[in-house]
Amino acid sequence: MMTPDNSSSTMTAMLSEAREAPQVVARLLDSNAALCRDLGERLRASPPPFAVTCARGSSDNAATFVKYLLEIHSGLVTASVGPSVTSVYEARPRMRDALFLAVSQSGRSPDILNLAQAGRDDGALTVALVNDTSSPLASTCEVVLPLHAGPEKSVAATKSFIAALAAGFQLVAHWSQDKELLAALDTLPEVLAKAADIDWSEALPELSQANNLFVVGRGVGFAVAQEAALKLKETSGVHAEAMSAAELMHGPWTLAGDHFPILVISQRDETLSGVNDLVTKLREQDVPVVVAGAAEGPATVMLPSVDNVHPYLAPIAMIQSFYPLVNAIALARGRNPDNPPRLRKVTETV
């Protein structure tokens, strides 16, 4: 069977960059530890009443992951504010004393900069998770947590997305001083290295032939469902939609069927029972289901994952395993994942 690594005679930049993620994360955790300890101490001394995230594209998917961590683990209400609120509508939402998290690879999109400046002007603690530390966003925000991903040549972000997830996890772990999270954080580079070697090519025949599909996740896993759906759209020309396992049952699952499969991404936490029930119901309706992670049931394809990892780390590991698969899907559909039609590496929106 075709494997993601051997699906082309040449290694794509996307696949090469994705495989750099374990080293990127190891560098990030070491370099940013002191920054996160200091920021955590500051946040404990003056707890914010709420948090705001600001991002676009893959970075917004990473912000979703941080939102779930903050709300589930820290109990902090976290809102994703649309940058157009300030850049287009010229409104000024009240963000005094909030924690404002801007996530970006380039740090150059005008709408992101506009909202970040509005947050700082109103008295929010502005923090940038950004790959380009010489960018305007890094200058605009009070605190900068570099992603340390290095240059990315492929239009599709991979290692910088994983780095953003790791940076958010590191911030929450140091802020909470949770020993279990800190211990899990130390294992992340090794977990990613294992995940990079896991073969998901069994899903290639089912997913490469689909023009429409759902990518389902829940809780902390929903962000990587969003990211997987985005990558399927931009690299492979597949109309993929991220869907909460709960929301799917409120109507959208009527679309699924023989030519509309579902990819389920699941972690071993409080959401697992509901996800297992969903897989069973889908198969009872003869819907093709590809399951990655902890979920069980009569799936069409069961994909392996790294065992015995913290449930907050599991989604990060699974997106690491997913990137070679989506690279292979793009190539199988005759597309170049490094240069998708009409896309550029740096997208600047107003």
Q: Distance between CA 177 and CA 197 in Å, rounded?
A: 31
Spatial CA neighbour of 15 closest among 4, 28, 1: 4
Tell me if 124 sits within 8 A of 52, measured CB to CB.
Answer: yes
Give the per-residue pLDDT at 296: 83
φ, ψ of residue 185 in degrees (nearest 5): -60, -40
Sign of the alpha-carbon torsion through 4, 7, 9, 15: negative
200-333 matches 13-195 in CATH topology: yes
The band of 258, judged by pLDDT with boundaries at 50, 70 and 90, is: confident
pLDDT tens-digit series, residues 19-47: 999 999 999 999 999 999 999 999 999 99
pLDDT tens-digit series, residues 296-346: 878 889 999 999 999 999 999 999 999 999 999 999 999 999 987 666 655
- Neighbouring C-beta atoms of residue 209, cutoff 10 Å: 13
The band of 257, judged by pLDDT with boundaries at 50, 70 and 90, is: confident
Give the per-residue pLDDT at 308: 93
Rounded to the nearest integer, the mean pLDDT of the chain is 92
Strand order in the sheet with 289-293: 239-244, 212-217, 262-266, 289-293, 301-303
CATH topology of domain 200-333: Rossmann fold (3.40.50)
* pLDDT-above-70 percentage for the chain: 94
Q: Distance between CA 69 and CA 63 in Å, rounded?
A: 10
The residues with which 215 forms a beta bridge, in sequence order, are 242, 263
CATH topology of domain 13-195: Rossmann fold (3.40.50)
The residues with which 293 forms a beta bridge, in sequence order, are 266
Give the per-residue pLDDT at 340: 76
The band of 6, judged by pLDDT with boundaries at 50, 70 and 90, is: very low
Q: Distance between CA 73 and CA 218 in Å, rounded?
A: 15
Residue 205 scores a pLDDT above 50: yes
Give the per-residue pLDDT at 237: 95
- Neighbouring C-beta atoms of residue 2, cutoff 10 Å: 14
The residues with which 115 forms a beta bridge, in sequence order, are none
- Cite the DSSP H helix spans in the chain: 13-18, 21-45, 57-73, 84-87, 110-121, 136-140, 159-176, 179-196, 204-208, 222-236, 245-248, 272-284, 314-332
Residue 174 scores a pLDDT above 80: yes
Residue 215 scores a pLDDT above 80: yes
Residue boundaries of the structural domains of the chain: 13-195, 200-333
What angle, rounded to 10 degrees, do the helices at 179-196 and 314-332 form? 20
As a whole number of Å, the end-to-end CA separation of the chain is 45
The residues with which 244 forms a beta bridge, in sequence order, are 217
The band of 350, judged by pLDDT with boundaries at 50, 70 and 90, is: low
